[in-house]
Structure formats: structure tokens, C-alpha cells
Chains A and B, each alone.
Chain A
């Protein structure tokens, strides 16, 4: 008997040692250090480059799915052990500590899951003439709720974990701004604000995984910050004369470089990679990063960009046929093409400022506030200079008019203009009604999935606008709406619009009932 116990204890001890040693990271310490390769370790110290770890749980991933352009009518199957609140994705990206040592700017690729509510689709009311109207609802600034608090960790260049708070998103640049909770937690690097020169060498910093150091039982991954070399090829000037972007070429650039921080050889920050065009990385200059951070910090919330509600293309980038296809006579199209100026509108969002100003697809905007528009970048620049919710004067050419026209347009504002186009494709969870105008975003569940969540069918709530009655009544992301006003969600219709909504929901397999006064939408009596 004693012998058996001894064996069991020995085996258990051996297992414990095994587990502990499995937690020990690192490649073999006996492995000799590799001979230094030419060019290795010549990158300057970059205390301003931090690593940001952004985690998304399953609920946020569903929100991302609903807000993306994916056509999703319903979730039809899930892994049986799936838990809505468990993390499903970790994104590891570079962040830039600004010169105050507290503010971090980064391109969070899934930042939209941290946005407030998606604006409700415009009503089907007939379009009004160009008289001024209240702006279309934008993303208001919201406090983060318990369910929405971004799960973000910042790791300093020395490996320390730094608590940080998500402040907001700057829609003009696409940057997310975070603030460290401790002052001077990061030894900030220096910035180079003056124009950069072509031919100058740059280093692009980006985190990458370290392979061969995965402990067995407690999954931990190892990463490090690495830099690759590049060279400035082009400096693009903005219409006002400053640097709008510069382009850097580097060996074998990949989409993984987007979001990386660009430093010069002296260790000064010159920008953040905000896109790839061919073999070149487009760099957002330090001056614009700093302005973006200031905008967000001033408001302590996400800052929208001016919104017109159009898609378009520069005349200079269009083929002759494309101009003709938008209703232009051949001679007029030829004249336009020869001028090489203006933006042709190709799509207008119903109910948008452009629609209210009677702009139509095929119209060509030649000037904004008397400033000539040559390219799409020019148009973006001058709209951004005008700012959200401001009036701008457009000089417009139209296919059916012989002369140019002046139009005054009141811009609106939006965090993500693409949403306005998505909304037209937004598949309502149940045909005939949407809860978007009540500040509730949902995804429909097919019966097998609903059964996993304790109901037979329903709508999974992925977001509740915190300034709505639904939120105040206690409806939460993760709830499954089983019926509305006593009717199954499959047959419920909002015509005529009810005065109140009684939601029967299932939360953690428990049934709850919430009665919510209907939020009045523009156009309803």
C-alpha cells in the first residue's frame, strides 16, 4: 500500500516539475550566440515604439462581423463549447508614444468595435429640397460600458506592461488614441516635424512573433519588436504646402507592415505606416499624427470626419467611357477629360448632406470654397479643412446644364463614412424591421445556435447604445431577444411602429422581460 502511495507521489511530483518546466520559456540557453550578421542590431533604440495588444471577445467579433460589409443574415452554427465572453482574437501591433510620454497613437485594425452606435439608416421619406436640415446622426461620443470597455494592453520597449485607457478614434487619419494611466511611463522619443527628404533611410518598427518558445500547458506566446530598413522615395505635398504623406520603399513589404512606426537613423519618429501602394509604404507624417492626437485629447472622445455622403473619383483618374456612362454628352465628356480637374460623384447616400443639397451621381465638383480640386486627395484635404458640420461652397458641373453652378452644402460628420454605404446593404435581422433605430444592433441566430444559448430562435444583441431607453431598461450585449411584444422575432413587424417594445430575452439561459418606450425616429409622429 505504502509502495503504491510512494509511486503516486513520485509521479505527481514528476508531473509538477514537468508542468513548471513547460512554463519556462526560452530556447536552449546553451545554444551559442549566433555570429552577428552584417546590419543586425544597428537599429537605434526606440523607446517611443510600444507594443499594443488588443483583444476581442466573441461578442465583439460578432459586432465586427455585423458592421463589416459581410452579408450576414444569421449565424447558423457554432462550436458547442463556444462562450460569447471568451477572447477569440488577439491583435499585436506597434504603437507610438508621443513626446508627452503618455499619449499613444496606433492603427487599431478593429477599432470600429470600440465605436458607439451605428447611425440608423435614413428614413424612406421623400427627399427634401436643398433647404438646411439637421445633420444626419453621427457617432456620438459615448462612455464605454462594462461590456464595451476595450481590452487593451500596452507593452513598453523595455517589456513592462503599462495600463492604458482608450480615448478615441480620429476619423481623419484612422488613428486610435490611448492614454497611459501613469505619467511618463514611457521614455518618449523625439519627433521630426520638419519635412523629410527623399533618399533618407528609415526604419519601420513592427512587433513579430518569436518562434520556438511556446510553453506546453499554459499557452503563452512570445513576441518582440523588430525593425526593417527602408528609404524615402517620394514626399507628397498637401494643397496647403505641408507634407501630406511620404512613401518609403523597403525589401518585401507586406500588409503586416501597416501600422508600423517609422523612425529615421537618428531615432526620431517620422510617422506611422498607414497603407501600402505597390512596393511602397505610405507614411502618415508625425505632424499629422500629433494633430490627430490633439483633436481626440481635446474632446476626450472619438472625433468624426466631415461627411458628405458620396463616393467619387477624380476626373483625371477616369476613363473617357466612364465619364460618358454617367450621362455626359461626348463633347462635354471630352472637355471634362481634357481639363483634368474635378471629382465625379458616382454614388450618393440617400438622406445624406449631398442628397439634401440635390447633388446627383454624374455631377462633377470642380471647386471647394474656390479651391481647385485636381485629385481625390485635394478633395479630402479641403473637406477636412472645412471640418465637420460646416458649410462649404461647391462649384459643380452637371451633365444636363451648360454652365457651372454654385451649391452651398452643410457637411455632416461620421466616424466611418463606409458605414453609410454598408447601411444600404445592412441585412435586417428579420425581414421588414430593424432595431437599429432603437440603438440595438443584433444578429439573428438559427435554431441550433439559439439552443446553445438557451432558447429556440432569436436575435443576439451585439451592441446597445448607452444613451437609449433599451440600455437604461437593462438590455445588454449578449442577450438573445426571443420575442418582441409577444410575437416571435421571426414574424414581428414594426408597421405600424409600436409605442413600446416588450423584449423577452434569454440571458445566461434565464428568461427576462424588458419594456422599453420606442425611440422616436425622424419622420415618425
Chain B
């Protein structure tokens, strides 16, 4: 009987939010039952720890990985035709499939005819001609007369604070731990983009197919654990590791 009461009280404690109080019956039981009191203390502590962690932002490449995973799952699901059991479904699906084939074909043809230069096309272009220095006005005029080669696409705005090479944003101090973890998974790739570009080149592609996510837990031998993760792609000459060595450092000889 007492065991049942304990279970009920613990269930209630489980469902409580951090700032809620439990029923008077449960409170009465807690006064009597040491085990349930201990359970309550543990639960409260756990909630406080979890509550203190704050909001967790999605990793920078979350959408990219999610889409890749969805694509994988949808392609593997497509290989199973067991759902085509019914004749009506079968015919309906056949009609949809034919439509998809036509639509995709049309899209592909249109895209192939109109798409801007890809890296493969760029590879076939002749190398740029060596230019002799020209007065500034001349160069500017010539360039403004050329049709813009670039695609109009959004540039990720870098909201990181300014700082020197090692002073990077995104430092999250873990409570009661002397070491800090630099959590890159919630920060964007390093991007220049705060200032409006005055000129851009034709886009080129970068193969990112073999990249895996680097996220490891380490300990420092003093009982402190931390997680180190790095973005899969970064732009610009910034260091990945917190307090990493600084090239050509000042005040170290």
C-alpha cells in the first residue's frame, strides 16, 4: 500500500514544473517518507541544472544535415513498394510518378539551359589575362560597364563581436568548472559579411560530401570534462581552438 502511495507521489513529482508545488497529500507523504524526500531533492536539483542551461540554438549546419538525413530516409523509403497494395492507390501513384517525371525533366532542361556558370564550366574558361596597372578611374569604369556576373544571393551577416585573432565570441562557461567550453555547434560558420561587398566574383563550388561532425568530450586530468566541437566549414583565417597558439605572437620571443 505504502509502495503504491510512493509511486503516486513520485509520478506527481515527475510531472511538476520547476516553480510548481505539489499537492498537500503529497506534501504530507513527503514529510513521512525519507526515500521520496530524497527523490524530490534529486528531481529539484536536476530541474535546476537543466533550467540553468538556457536555450540551446541549433547547430550552424543543422538544416543542412537535417535535409541530407531526410533525403536519405525518403530515398530508402522509396525503395519499398509495399504500400502500393491497393489498385486505386497503384493507379494514383503511377499517375503522380509520371507527372513527377515530366515536371522534373522540364525543370532539369530549363535549369541546364539557364543556370549560371558552375565550377566545371569555369574550368573550361580561359585564364584571366595578366593586367597592367591602370589608373583607378579607368579600372572602375571598365568594371562598371561589364554586366554583373554574380548571383544575387543573401550573405550571412556576421553578428560576432569584434576582437583580435584569439578573442572569439561564443565562450560558454560551465558552472563550477575552471575550464570553459567553446561551443561552436550553435554558432555560424566564420563569415565576412558585415560590410556590404563592393564587388564579388563568380561563385565556385566546394565539395563538402565527406565532412563529418567533430564533437568530442575530453577531460583535463583534474576531473573537469568539456565538449569540444568545431564547425565543419569556416571562412577567414581565424583559429578553431580556444587559446590556440597565435602565429607571429606579440610579446613572446
Whole-angstrom distance between the Cβ of A95 and the nearest chain B Cβ: 10
The answer to the question of A276 belonging to the interface, with a C-beta cut-off of 8 Å to chain B, is yes
Q: Find out whether the CB atom of A90 lies under 8 angstroms from the CB atom of B127.
A: no
Whole-angstrom distance between the Cβ of B200 and the nearest chain A Cβ: 5
- Chain A residues with CB under 8 A of B249: 417-418
Contact partner, A92, options B68, B114, B135, B235, Cβ 8 Å: B235
- Chain B residues with CB under 8 A of A65: 216, 218, 228, 241
- Chain A residues with CB under 8 A of B150: 41, 224
The answer to the question of B88 belonging to the interface, with a C-beta cut-off of 8 Å to chain A, is no
Stretch at the interface among A7-15, A322-330, A473-481: A7-15
Whole-angstrom distance between the Cβ of A272 and the nearest chain B Cβ: 9
Contact partner, B133, options A108, A268, A306, A431, Cβ 8 Å: A268
A21 with B245, Cβ < 8 A, contacts A219-B68, A251-B194 known: no
Output the nearest chain B residue to A377 by Cβ-Cβ distance: B250
Stretch at the interface among B6-14, B30-38, B41-49, B157-165: B157-165
**Distance of A73 Cα from B220 Cα, bound (Å):** 4
The answer to the question of A407 belonging to the interface, with a C-beta cut-off of 8 Å to chain B, is no
Whole-angstrom distance between the Cβ of B15 and the nearest chain A Cβ: 31
The answer to the question of B55 belonging to the interface, with a C-beta cut-off of 8 Å to chain A, is no
**Distance of A212 Cα from B152 Cα, bound (Å):** 10
Most buried by A among B153, B160, B239: B153
Output the nearest chain A residue to B242 by Cβ-Cβ distance: A70
A79 with B248, Cβ < 8 A, contacts A26-B115, A216-B68 known: no
5 contacts between A and B (CB under 8 A): A3-B90, A17-B104, A88-B212, A109-B239, A211-B156
Contact partner, A21, options B107, B119, B216, B222, Cβ 8 Å: B107
The answer to the question of B125 belonging to the interface, with a C-beta cut-off of 8 Å to chain A, is yes
- Chain B residues with CB under 8 A of A279: 162
- Chain A residues with CB under 8 A of B167: 255
Number of interface residues of A (CB under 8 A): 159
The answer to the question of A34 belonging to the interface, with a C-beta cut-off of 8 Å to chain B, is yes
- Chain A residues with CB under 8 A of B136: 44, 264-266
Q: Find out whether the CB atom of A14 lies under 8 angstroms from the CB atom of B214.
A: no
Q: Find out whether the CB atom of A219 lies under 8 angstroms from the CB atom of B251.
A: no
Output the nearest chain B residue to A21 by Cβ-Cβ distance: B108
Q: Find out whether the CB atom of A70 lies under 8 angstroms from the CB atom of B241.
A: yes
Given A211-B154, A213-B203, A256-B160, 15 additional A-B pairs, CB 8 A: A33-B152, A42-B144, A47-B128, A70-B228, A74-B218, A88-B214, A109-B234, A174-B248, A208-B155, A208-B235, A221-B205, A255-B162, A256-B193, A260-B236, A267-B133
- Chain A residues with CB under 8 A of B93: 7, 11
**Distance of A305 Cα from B238 Cα, bound (Å):** 22
Output the nearest chain A residue to B151 by Cβ-Cβ distance: A27
The answer to the question of A142 belonging to the interface, with a C-beta cut-off of 8 Å to chain B, is no
The answer to the question of A436 belonging to the interface, with a C-beta cut-off of 8 Å to chain B, is no
Contact partner, A45, options B128, B164, B189, B246, Cβ 8 Å: B128
Interface string of B166-206 (1 = CB under 8 A from A): 01100000000001000000000111111111111111111
Q: Find out whether the CB atom of A190 lies under 8 angstroms from the CB atom of B115.
A: no
Chain B residues in the interface with A (C-beta under 8 A): 64, 67-68, 71, 75, 78, 81, 84, 90, 93-94, 97-98, 100-101, 104-105, 107-108, 110-112, 114-119, 122-123, 125, 127-136, 139-140, 143-144, 146, 148, 150-156, 158, 160, 162-165, 167-168, 179, 189-222, 224-225, 228, 230-253
The answer to the question of A29 belonging to the interface, with a C-beta cut-off of 8 Å to chain B, is yes
- Chain A residues with CB under 8 A of B217: 75-78
**Distance of A379 Cα from B118 Cα, bound (Å):** 50
- Chain B residues with CB under 8 A of A26: 111, 115-116, 118, 151
Q: Find out whether the CB atom of B104 lies under 8 angstroms from the CB atom of A18.
A: yes
**Distance of A258 Cα from B190 Cα, bound (Å):** 11
The answer to the question of A468 belonging to the interface, with a C-beta cut-off of 8 Å to chain B, is no
Q: Find out whether the CB atom of A255 lies under 8 angstroms from the CB atom of B252.
A: no
Contact partner, B235, options A58, A160, A188, A207, Cβ 8 Å: A207
Q: Find out whether the CB atom of A210 lies under 8 angstroms from the CB atom of B203.
A: yes
Output the nearest chain B residue to A173 by Cβ-Cβ distance: B248
Q: Find out whether the CB atom of A89 lies under 8 angstroms from the CB atom of B214.
A: yes
- Chain A residues with CB under 8 A of B134: 44, 266-267
Q: Find out whether the CB atom of B140 lies under 8 angstroms from the CB atom of A42.
A: yes
The answer to the question of A124 belonging to the interface, with a C-beta cut-off of 8 Å to chain B, is no
**Distance of A8 Cα from B83 Cα, bound (Å):** 12
**Distance of A156 Cα from B119 Cα, bound (Å):** 11
Q: Find out whether the CB atom of A90 lies under 8 angstroms from the CB atom of B152.
A: no
Contact partner, A256, options B97, B190, B222, B248, Cβ 8 Å: B190
**Chain B interface main SS type:** loop
Most buried by A among B204, B239, B250: B204
5 closest A-B pairs by beta carbon, nearest first, are: A43-B199, A259-B237, A159-B122, A174-B247, A73-B221
Interfacial residues of chain A within 156-202, with CB under 8 A of chain B in the complex: 156-161, 171-174, 185-190
Q: Find out whether the CB atom of B139 lies under 8 angstroms from the CB atom of A267.
A: yes
**Distance of A279 Cα from B194 Cα, bound (Å):** 13
Whole-angstrom distance between the Cβ of B220 and the nearest chain A Cβ: 4
**Distance of A419 Cα from B101 Cα, bound (Å):** 60
Interface string of A257-293 (1 = CB under 8 A from B): 1111000111110000011111100000000000000
A87 with B212, Cβ < 8 A, contacts A69-B243, A419-B245 known: yes
Output the nearest chain A residue to B252 by Cβ-Cβ distance: A417
- Chain A residues with CB under 8 A of B154: 211-212
Output the nearest chain A residue to B138 by Cβ-Cβ distance: A266
**Distance of A218 Cα from B68 Cα, bound (Å):** 8
Q: Find out whether the CB atom of A225 lies under 8 angstroms from the CB atom of B221.
A: no
- Chain B residues with CB under 8 A of A265: 136, 139-140
Whole-angstrom distance between the Cβ of B189 and the nearest chain A Cβ: 7
The answer to the question of A372 belonging to the interface, with a C-beta cut-off of 8 Å to chain B, is no
Whole-angstrom distance between the Cβ of B167 and the nearest chain A Cβ: 8
**Distance of A225 Cα from B200 Cα, bound (Å):** 5
**Distance of A209 Cα from B235 Cα, bound (Å):** 8
Contact partner, A158, options B84, B127, B195, B213, Cβ 8 Å: B127
The answer to the question of A319 belonging to the interface, with a C-beta cut-off of 8 Å to chain B, is no
Output the nearest chain A residue to B118 by Cβ-Cβ distance: A25
Contact partner, B97, options A11, A106, A276, Cβ 8 Å: A11
Whole-angstrom distance between the Cβ of B105 and the nearest chain A Cβ: 6
Contact partner, B209, options A76, A101, A218, Cβ 8 Å: A218
Output the nearest chain A residue to B223 by Cβ-Cβ distance: A73
Whole-angstrom distance between the Cβ of A323 and the nearest chain B Cβ: 16
A89 with B231, Cβ < 8 A, contacts A210-B153, A227-B199 known: yes
Output the nearest chain A residue to B101 by Cβ-Cβ distance: A14
A109 with B240, Cβ < 8 A, contacts A88-B214, A267-B131 known: yes
